[in-house]
Amino acid sequence: MVEKCKVMDKKAKVLDAALKLFVEFGFHNTPTSKIAKEAGISSGTLFYFFPTKDELVVALYLDIKSKLGCEITESISQETSFKEILKKYYTTTLDWAKEHRDEFKFMEQFNSSPYLKKIAEDEIQKYVKPLKELLQNAIDEGVLKNMDLEILFTLISGHTFSINQYLIISEPQESKREQIISETFDLLWQMISA
């Protein structure tokens, strides 16, 4: 058991080091030797966990998506109305990005890179399926406009991502930040609600 914990600890160190360096230098300007050095392990140990740099980049993305997904799932579990569920999804995502700036920057890089195509569609759907199911139920119940699910999902995701970028760049005072989040959620709701 202790040995397994040591292995997982080394893997976590690799992911942490990779995140730090990818955000600072980008994917292409970060050699695996630099990641291994930052993690305090040998290159051989790094390649034991991640046989290629591509696999490391994808694994880091999936690790971040998984953690964000868990946080969102936990935050919406107490909500009952669809509007409150969506608002909690929105605010949790924005708060997460504020608290995890490096992770958000990494995801920003990843989403506009060729690495996104390296993730299997079923792996992506694992993270978006719960929200899409909620959206479809809300459409079926007449809570949301009767529109194509993929377009609706894209509107919500794009809106949330763009407001994330704005808040990170502008760094408003907390009271102003809360006002922006509230007002932009209201705009989103007006756009999609039936």
pLDDT per residue over 15-57, tens digit each? 999 999 999 999 999 999 999 999 999 999 999 999 999 999 9
Q: Band of the pLDDT at 79, cuts 50, 70, 90?
A: confident
CATH of 53-192 given 3.40.920.10, 2.60.40.10, 1.10.357.10, 3.20.20.80 = 1.10.357.10
User: Long-range contacts of range 102-106, CB-CB < 8 Å, 24 or more positions apart?
Assistant: 102/19, 102/20, 102/23, 103/19, 103/64, 103/67, 103/68, 104/164, 104/168, 105/23, 106/19, 106/22, 106/23, 106/60, 106/61, 106/64
CATH of 1-51 given 1.10.20.60, 3.30.70.141, 1.10.10.60, 2.70.70.10 = 1.10.10.60
- Tally the C-alpha atoms within 13 A of residue 51's C-alpha that lie toward its C-beta: 0
Q: Band of the pLDDT at 130, cuts 50, 70, 90?
A: confident
User: In 3-state terms, what secondary structure has residue 55?
Assistant: helix
Whether the per-residue pLDDT at 7 is higher than 80: the answer is no
Whether the per-residue pLDDT at 166 is higher than 90: the answer is yes
pLDDT of amino acid 6? 57
Q: How is the chain split into domains, by residue range?
A: 1-51, 53-192
